[in-house]
Amino acid sequence: MAADLKDLKTQFLEYLEIEKGRSIKTVENYDRYLSRFLAYSKITSPANLTESAVREFRLHLNRQAGTAGTMKHKTQNYYMISLRAFLKFLRKRDIESLNPERIELAKVGARDLDLITSAELERLMAGPKGSGLSELRDRAILELFFSTGLRVSELCSLNRDLDLTRDEFSIRGKGEKIRVVFLSPAAKRVIKEYLDKRGDVDEALFIQMGKGSKNAKELRLTPRSVERLVKKYAIKAGITRKVTPHVIRHSFATDLLQNGADLRSVQALLGHANIATTQVYTHVTDKHLHEVHKKFHGTGRK
């Protein structure tokens, strides 16, 4: 007798974690999306998973209230991507079910980038004042973000044994892919100042400080803590729009492109698996095209 969909879902999640090397967070997301589909459809057999069942679920998702009145297509697509991956897993194991190619993703509009100006970035970076340990830590975090373009989870995973005699280090990013990132002189200098002032023996590069850290089992800063830290300095810098660690990552990428870096190099530095993900930045760097048009177009006409 064939296993039911709940058992197969468990096998699929284990496959994602062990064989595909997906992060725990990714596995948890897939679990949430698939569990919601199974709970709504009440389907237990792979053979009963039909296009009609998927369509009904999509209608259900589309009618869920969101900030815009309905669930965003981008969010709906997360459910479809997880379901499609699950169906591919079933097909790989010769289990009869819906063809994964029958699931199409909803069209979404071009992604808007959350960007800050160069002046705003400078004010943000200059936010942490003083020579106290927490100020040095915060300055090191901001400098490291802009120097490397790291994701917040990647930054939080770093240990204090970072080799500051070198200008580069390797980081394990999404999908367990390893890439090289580079340290600016400013980032190296402030990280050294921060580490020299540390009096603890915790292995994490960036740690909690203050009252909450005294009873904490884990001193390593969490991504949420770093997000709050960046928000604090953005408010201090008088930036009215939302600023997150990812916004600094955007600034890292656009700074490179605007100064002449090619898209493939930026893709490698960001750790994007697909060049299409990096291409979201190109419209930002196309602003100079107006000047090109103005300078060179129609020069032969009187």
Q: Residues 91, 123, 189, 246: which is the catalytic one? A: 246
Is 272 an active-site residue?
yes
The yes-or-no answer on residue 246 being catalytic is yes
- Cβ neighbours of residue 272 closer than 8 Å, sequence gap 6 or more: 278
Is residue 151 annotated as part of the catalytic site, yes or no?
Answer: yes
Catalytic residue among 151, 179, 188, 250: 151
Taking the C-alpha atoms of residue 18 and residue 20, their distance in angstroms, rounded to an integer, is 6
Q: Known catalytic residue: 166?
A: no
Out of 60, 160, 174, 220, the active site residue is 174
SS (H, E, C) the chain: CCCCHHHHHHHHHHHHHHCCCCCHHHHHHHHHHHHHHHHHHCCCCHHHCCHHHHHHHHHHHHCCCCCCCCCCHHHHHHHHHHHHHHHHHHHHCCCCCCCHHHCCCCCCCCCCCCCCCHHHHHHHHCCCCCCCHHHHHHHHHHHHHHHHCCCHHHHHCCECCCCCCCCEEEEECHHHCEEEEECCHHHHHHHHHHHHHCCCCCCECCECCCHHHCCCCCCECCHHHHHHHHHHHHHHCCCCCCCCHHHHHHHHHHHHHHCCCCHHHHHHHHCCCCHHHHHHHHHHHHHHHHHHHHHHCCCCCC
Using only C-alpha atoms, the chain has a radius of gyration, in whole angstroms, of 24
**Cβ distance 43 to 87 under 8 Å?**
no
Handedness of CA 151, 153, 154, 160 (dihedral sign): positive
Catalytic one among 9, 179, 249, 250? 249
* Angstrom distance (rounded) from CA 233 to CA 142: 10
To the query of whether residue 290 is one of the catalytic residues in this protein, the response is no
Query: Which of the following is catalytic: 22, 188, 250, 272?
Result: 272
Active site residues: 151, 174, 246, 249, 272, 281
